[in-house]
Amino acid sequence: MADDREPPPLFDDEKPDKKEDEDDLFATPNEAPKEEIKDEPASLPTEPAQDKASEDLFAADDDLFGEAVKEVDTSKLRRKLTEDVDDLSPPLTPLEEPKPLIPTPADSSKAPPKKEPPKEKVKKYSQAKEPKPLIPTQADSSKAPKKDASENKNPPPKEEAKKKEDSQTKEAKPSKKEPASMAKEQPPLKPMKVSVDLHPPKPGEGEEVDLDSPETEGPSSPAKMEPDSDSSPLEAPPMAEVLPPAKPVIEEKPKPTPAPRKPSMEKSKEEVGYTSFAQIEEEESGDQFALDIKVHDPGKIGDGMGAYMSYKVTTQCLDFGEEKKTSIPAFRRPSMTVTRRFSDFLGLHEKLSQKHTHIGRIVPPAPEKSVVGMTKIKMSKEDTSSTEFVEKRRALLERFLQRISLHPVLQMDPDFRDFLEQDELPRATSTSAVSGAGVLRLIKGVGDTFSKVTIKMDESDQWFEEKQNQVEALDQQLKKLHASVEALVTYRKELGISTSAFAKSTAMLSNSEEHTALSRALSQLAEVEEKIELVHLEQADNDFFLLSELLKDYIGIIQAIRVVFHERVKSFHNWQNAQQNLAKKREQEAKFKQTGKTDKIAQAQEEIREWEGKVEKGREDFEEISKTIRTEIRRFETNRVKDFRNIIIKYMETLMNSQQQLIKYWEGFLPEAKAIA
Amino acid sequence: MRSVVLYRSVIAQEGEDQDVPSRLTSSKMDNATDETNTNGTADVSDSPEADQDTPESSGLPEPTLPPKPFEPVFTVKVTDAAKDGEVVKYSLKTTKIKSESEEYKVVRQYEDFEWLEHCLITQNDIGGIIVPPLPPKPSTTAQSAEARSKKQLGNKKRHGSDDEEGNDIKLVVGDEFEKDCRSLEKYLQLVVTHPILGQDESITKFLTVREAPTRAKLKKSIFSNLSKSLGEARKGGHKDVNEFFQKERDTVNEVSLQMKEAKENYMKIVYGEQRVAVGLSHLSTALHLGGQLQEGADVVVNKLFTQFSEGLEDAKQGLEVMAVNDENTLGFSLDLYSRYLEAEKEMLYRRTCKMMEFEAATKAVEKAKPQKRQMAEAARDKAEKEFEDISKAAEKELKNFHHQRVLTFQDSLVRHADAKIKAARDTYALLTKCVTALKTLDTNFKPL
């Protein structure tokens, strides 16, 4: 139970960040720091912050906060990061936006102004928004300060409480958007918080769509949203009941993202983190949320260059209605079907990798955009090559979703849930190959490869060194196998074509044959050969869809693993940087002491403390990511064995089936041949 | 290992299959001979020259020849072929049917076969005879072998999938004379069992005399071929007086083209099967190559791969067996008859020429001046006689030919289907074994 829940909140937290950022843009500077700071400890790993640093280049320099220097630094970075994130993938879950997190003295004072900006927003988008459970704003402001105070003192035991409060406030804050009067009427709905956490709020999406991508097909209608809000209260009670025993869940939140600057807190969180890892592993061992996901009915929508393919995604919750319902944030319906276009899939992948890659999770690769294939579809009507292309892609997309659904953490991701569940999805803006975001992505990609070359790391961990080599070797092997299978597919198709040609020749021979029996036998032969052609083609399909695609998938996953390894190196690098800086600061301090510049010593010590925190954080991040990667790799290995075994057996069975068909056809033909004379 | 053993059994069966053709064909030829006899007598009476040429015609007066079946004197086997420098030498084993003890072993090369064909054509009146076609000269040079390999296994560049495969290709199809042996053997059998050609002296010499006949270089000018085909094109459209022949000519023109096409397409299937087999074998090799990592999941995956590659190897061998069988059964017949039909066409062409000569002679008689009329009439009578002779001979030959053709095709179709079933069953059994092994394979592993 606890396991199940733990991951989603993390993600939720992150998203809110993004949203907050947006809000910030509209809102007063004060509000932002408070929210962000609070959120971050819970959700954002420090790495991203470092990432952001690199992204600073692209980010605008906004000076929104007039707070303590250190805080401004990180918050800026974060904001930039999240802005980038927003560019790439519009946040889907506005719900929990404002979360009081790490207390800053300023928070309490800032809280009040906060309310206003959201309200403005509400005015803008209120139509798109869904009526949500609202919590009186006063409660919010009062709570926030309390937490701040308590957190300032850093008493670990209180963390739980704080977090609970946090989650409450999270929910509460979205409510601010709504008129206060409404909010007051609905206080009883508070228990929903848990369910809300788990189920990313859909209502917000429409709103966000408006913000992020004006091209979206349109804000989701309030009518559509309502069912969600109706259903969520229903689910909420069980969740609430579950809550008390679920303490671990709450504790886990901090684990992935330990508070940046507070070593004392970090330690406690670290411990928590360890347990959570154990839990994750438990999850892997069995208790998973089984989803049966099918992608079907590909259809072309529109004409000309604006045309795109849409797919239906049908999800079946296999264990829906069982006890799991209580322990797992089940979907609202046992089965649901949504329509998605290709870029939505890419958007999903983008969002997932934004959230998970940097903390060491292997996000299954999404199929690549194929300009050639799509252009063909756009230009031509119905030809075999394009239907083949569509079918291949459909299968790819299906496997992509299935892989995510098999991942214990990713399957809980609110974005993934939304993807499966929401009728309307904000359109992914950043996936287009030619858009500005695409260019940005490209630049970032170049930067990444560049840093891959430049950042070197002396591998101290033998396990990682071995794994890295192993993964490279595996990559080589799979690529080779893939080439072989591709050749095999081609050969088989050629064989099918030849067989069909021979069937035609035989039919002609049979026509001009004067000997009646021989003529009949020949025409039978033609029929048999036609059937055999189908056997060959079917087998070619099996070669392709079973073997070739499996290998291709795994080649893609290996790429994802590489990225994750690289993230680890980056993390290591950050840690080392922090250490170097710390050393410098210490030197400086020593100098000051020597030279007797007492006035500067205090500041230097302050800096040293700050850097000590950063070093600690860096180390922790690094350990964290290493740990996650180990878990992920273990999962990968287990799945690899499972996948390959299953596919190989399946493939061999198709071979057997082919042989059986051959036997059948030829046995049918034999008496015909014997009857000739 | 087990799978290898099993595979041998497949090969063994397949080997039998290869033996079967010769046995079957010979027995079938015997059958065919039964029919031949009736013609045989007639033919002999029609062609006295042939009689003179054949010392073995036992000097019986033609009219008294009862419907006694023509009995071929020999059975022939091409047992082996070996490359001696540039020249491929074929070992022939001939047995006299009447006295099994008389066995001849001679060594011949392709040029000797050409000479034999030349003798048969020139020393017999082949007007109404469908002369068995001599198989085309096997290619023995390196370039041609490479070209053949390319044709069979496909040009790698076209698929552009694996660089390494390009190198392997050249090695894949080595010198194989088996097919040539079968073709030549079939040719000899057709000659030996032919009621007229079978009595020819030169074939007897060819089969029994140890020293090869003097190899006179035969000059086959492209010119003669060209003029022949031109003539065929010109006279091919000439209307026939006889409906039977007219129809036969029409059909053969059509069918010979179709037969060629069918043969081409069929060979494409065989090549296709070989290519898929190569593809499977590459994949299987690639699976094996992965087996160097010895840790964690790799151990299990490698075990899976090894088993899988064995399974693929089985599938590949099954396909190879199928390809060989295909080529030896239906492929062989299609190949033979795509050539044999050409021979039929030639025979019909010869007859058409006679017919035109006769028609011309008839016209000449009408136009002839009284004093030359007698000569013209004599010429016309001669032409008529020749035409009638050739028509008679041709009719019987055709009847025989078609009967034989149907039998051959029946035989090859039956064997084809049989071989397919057998190979598919064996492959299926092997695959089943492999799947069972895969399913029971212990996939537990200790993560690192």
A589 vs A13 pLDDT, higher one: A589
- Tens-place pLDDT, residues A63-91: 444 343 344 444 444 444 444 444 444 44
A108 vs B381 pLDDT, higher one: B381
Going by the DSSP 8-state scheme, the letter that residue A245 receives in this structure is: G
- Tens-place pLDDT, residues A381-405: 556 667 777 888 888 888 888 888 8
Portion of chain B with pLDDT greater than 90, in percent: 9
Average pLDDT, integer, range B9-32:
36
Q: Inter-chain contact B268–A508, Cβ cutoff 8 Å?
A: no
Taking the CA of residue A343 and the nearest CA in chain B, the distance in Å comes to 30
Least confident of A44-48, B27-31, B105-109: B27-31
Q: Closest chain A residue to B260 measured between Cα atoms?
A: A505
Reply yes or no on whether the pLDDT at A165 is more than 70: no
Question: Which residues in chain B have their CB less than 8 angstroms from residue A640's CB?
Answer: 297, 301
Enter the pTM of the model. 0.63
What confidence tier does A226 reach under pLDDT thresholds 50, 70, 90? very low
Taking the CA of residue A527 and the nearest CA in chain B, the distance in Å comes to 14
- Tens-place pLDDT, residues A421-464: 777 666 555 444 444 444 555 555 555 555 555 555 666 677 88
Highest mean pLDDT among A276-285, B193-202, B376-385: B376-385
**The predicted structure's pLDDT at residue B292:** 55
Q: What is the residue type of A459?
A: E
Reply yes or no on whether the pLDDT at A599 is more than 60: yes
- Tens-place pLDDT, residues B236-289: 667 777 888 888 888 888 888 899 999 999 999 999 998 899 999 988 888 877
Average pLDDT, integer, range B63-69:
43
**The predicted structure's pLDDT at residue B3:** 38
ipTM of this complex = 0.76
Reply yes or no on whether the pLDDT at A245 is more than 50: no
Q: Inter-chain contact B161–A512, Cβ cutoff 8 Å?
A: no
Taking the CA of residue A656 as centre, how many other CA atoms within 13 Å lie in the half-sphere pointing to its CB? 16
What confidence tier does A529 reach under pLDDT thresholds 50, 70, 90? very high
A510 vs B20 pLDDT, higher one: A510
Domains, chain B, in order of start with CATH, read 68-155+175-216 (3.30.1520.10), 236-442 (1.20.1270.60)
Mutate which: B265, B334, B412, vs A, most A CBs within 10 A: B265
What confidence tier does B419 reach under pLDDT thresholds 50, 70, 90? very high
Q: Closest chain B residue to A631 measured between Cα atoms?
A: B447
Reply yes or no on whether the pLDDT at A255 is more than 90: no
Q: Inter-chain contact A677–B407, Cβ cutoff 8 Å?
A: yes
Mutate which: B163, B276, B433, vs A, most A CBs within 10 A: B276
Reply yes or no on whether the pLDDT at A139 is more than 90: no
Least confident of A498-512, A526-540, B129-143, B190-204: B129-143
Taking the CA of residue B395 and the nearest CA in chain A, the distance in Å comes to 16
Reply yes or no on whether the pLDDT at A527 is more than 90: yes
Q: What is the largest CA-CA distance in chain B?
A: 114
Least confident of A588-597, B23-32, B118-127: B23-32
What confidence tier does A658 reach under pLDDT thresholds 50, 70, 90? very high
Across all residues in chain A, what is the average pLDDT? 64
B159 touches A at CB < 8 Å:
yes
Across all residues in chain B, what is the average pLDDT? 73
Highest mean pLDDT among A330-339, A345-354, B335-344: B335-344
Question: Which residues in chain B have their CB less than 8 angstroms from residue A515's CB?
Answer: 402, 406
- Show the tokens assigned to A148: 């701040």
B276 touches A at CB < 8 Å:
yes
Q: Closest chain B residue to A509 measured between Cα atoms?
A: B258
Reply yes or no on whether the pLDDT at A286 is more than 80: no
What CA–CA distance (Å, rounded) separates B226 from B232? 10
Reply yes or no on whether the pLDDT at A155 is more than 90: no
Interchain CB contacts (distance < 8 Å): A and B: 192
> Residue B191: is it exposed, middle or buried by C-beta count within 10 angstroms (0-12/13-18/19+)?
buried
What confidence tier does A116 reach under pLDDT thresholds 50, 70, 90? very low
Q: Inter-chain contact A463–B448, Cβ cutoff 8 Å?
A: yes
B259 touches A at CB < 8 Å:
yes
Taking the CA of residue B103 and the nearest CA in chain A, the distance in Å comes to 34
Least confident of A358-362, A613-617, A668-672, B305-309: A358-362
Interface of B with A in 76-135 (CB under 8 A): none
- Show the tokens assigned to A342: 């290709």
B271 touches A at CB < 8 Å:
yes
